[in-house]
């Protein structure tokens, strides 16, 4: 018997047939659990050794040669809510795109988009993060970044090019809640009140995300879904927050999101040029 076949049959059938999207979700969740045991989230400012060693920070990247953080930061999250939102997005966007472009292309796209997103963020923080407005928009050399969202925006960038007319929903409720929380924090300084506010915002966002699975149309409106074409979705999720970030400090990596989107859009254009007929059929099919 062929050794490769034997090894393949040794694994359970459901493991062999798991999509790359599911594998990425499993890896992200497992690494999050492991990071909790090692105290990765012990300090909010990422001052502990483990966080400093694994999270992406422009200063460490360029001056201490922490190049591995471009990869490790992609698989780490700041909390259960951060993880939940990213994995939910990865599930919906990833499952759809993987079906279109296949497992191998999908895997490399995810990886390269995430790496490019991190580098894009670090480069802009390095060159433009020394001024007040630069810090607001790009961050600075001391800013830490973690999360899978840069890679996920890369997936969205491909779909924006391949299926631009497909109707999808931007879940605006959570974004509005995060912005309102940041605005209130400018005027309210009492720690107790801010803790309650943060808890309420987190609860609302979780309810909003779970409402997406409801059969009740009224309940789904809790998340404030806004219908739009797929080519608009990534831009609508990035540009307004960049503008708002100029006035209010938001805990969102806009530059990483933009970098991931650009990487994905470039790959989407490459596919459209190389496979004109196939991509045209895909666009027409998902424009119905």
Interior/surface letters 200-236, b for 16+ CB within 10 angstroms, e for the rest:
ebbebbeebbebeeeeeeeebebbbbeeeebbebbee
Helix axes of 103-128 and 20-37: crossing angle, nearest 10 degrees: 50
Residue 205 lies in a domain: no
Residue 214 lies inside a defined structural domain of this protein: no
Residue 219 lies inside a defined structural domain of this protein: no
| Regions of the chain with pLDDT less than 70 | 1-16, 41-45, 47-48, 288
Q: What is the mean pLDDT of the chain?
A: 86
User: Nearest 5°: phi and psi at 164?
Assistant: -65, -30
Domain membership of residue 53 (yes or no) is yes
> Is 180 a domain residue?
no
Look at residue 146 and tell me if it is in a domain: yes
CATH code of the domain covering residue 258: 1.20.1540.10
Distance, in Å, from the CA atom of 128 to the CA atom of 92, rounded to the nearest integer, reads 34
Contact 223, 173 (CB under 8 A): yes
Question: What is the span of the domain harbouring residue 247?
Answer: 3-166+230-285
User: And the tokens for 126?
Assistant: 């390095």
Which sign does the torsion angle of CA 141, 144, 146, 152 carry? Answer: negative
Chain position carrying tokens 């062929």: 2
Inside any domain, residue 190: no
In 3-state terms, the chain is what percent helix, strand and coil (to 5)? Answer: 70, 5, 25
**By three-state DSSP, how is residue 44 classified?**
coil
Per-residue pLDDT at 242: 80
Instruction: Let me know: does 226 contact 170? Beta carbons within 8 Å.
Output: yes
The whole-angstrom separation of Cα 269 and Cα 279 is 10
Cβ–Cβ under 8 Å, residues 82 and 28: no
Residue 154's nearest CA partner among 260, 247, 239 is: 260
Q: 37 in a domain, yes or no?
A: yes
Q: What local confidence, expressed as pLDDT, does residue 65 receive?
A: 92
Output the pTM of the full model: 0.86
The reported pLDDT for the residue numbered 164 is: 93
Q: Could you tell me which of 94, 83, 102, 89 has the C-alpha nearest to residue 36? A: 83
Q: What does the alpha-carbon distance between residue 279 and residue 285 come to, in Å, rounded to a whole number?
A: 10
**In the chain, how many domains are there?**
1
pLDDT in tens, 30-86: 999 998 887 776 665 676 678 888 899 999 999 999 999 999 999 999 888 889 889
pLDDT digits (tens, 9 = 90+) for 258-280: 999 999 999 999 999 999 999 99
């Amino acid at each position: 018997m062929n050794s490769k076949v034997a090894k393949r049959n040794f694994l359970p059938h459901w493991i062999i047939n798991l999509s790359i999207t599911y594998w990425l979700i499993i890896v992200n969740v497992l690494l999050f659990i492991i990071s909790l045991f090692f105290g990765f989230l012990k300090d909010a400012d990422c001052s502990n050794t483990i966080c400093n060693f694994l999270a992406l920070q422009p200063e460490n990247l360029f001056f201490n040669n922490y190049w591995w953080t471009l990869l490790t930061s992609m698989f780490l999250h700041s909390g259960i809510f951060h993880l939940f939102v990213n994995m939910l997005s990865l599930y919906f966007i990833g499952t759809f795109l993987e079906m279109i472009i296949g497992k191998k292309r999908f895997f490399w796209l995810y990886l390269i988009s995430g790496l490019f997103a991190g580098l894009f963020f670090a480069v802009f923080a390095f060159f433009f993060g020394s001024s007040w407005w630069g810090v607001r928009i790009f961050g600075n050399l001391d800013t830490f970044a973690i999360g899978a969202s840069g890679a996920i925006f890369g997936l969205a960038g491909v779909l924006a090019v391949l299926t631009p007319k497909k109707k999808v929903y931007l879940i605006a409720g959570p974004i509005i809640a995060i912005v309102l929380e940041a605005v209130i924090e400018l005027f309210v300084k009492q720690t107790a009140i801010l803790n309650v506010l943060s808890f309420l915002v987190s609860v609302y966002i979780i309810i909003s995300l779970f409402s997406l699975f409801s059969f009740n149309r009224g309940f789904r409106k809790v998340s404030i879904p806004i219908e739009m074409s797929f080519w608009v979705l990534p831009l609508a999720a990035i540009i307004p927050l960049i503008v708002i970030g100029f006035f209010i400090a938001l805990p969102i990596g806009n530059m990483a999101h933009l970098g991931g989107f650009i990487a994905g859009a470039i790959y989407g254009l490459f596919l459209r040029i190389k496979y004109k007929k196939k991509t045209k059929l895909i666009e027409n099919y998902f424009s119905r």
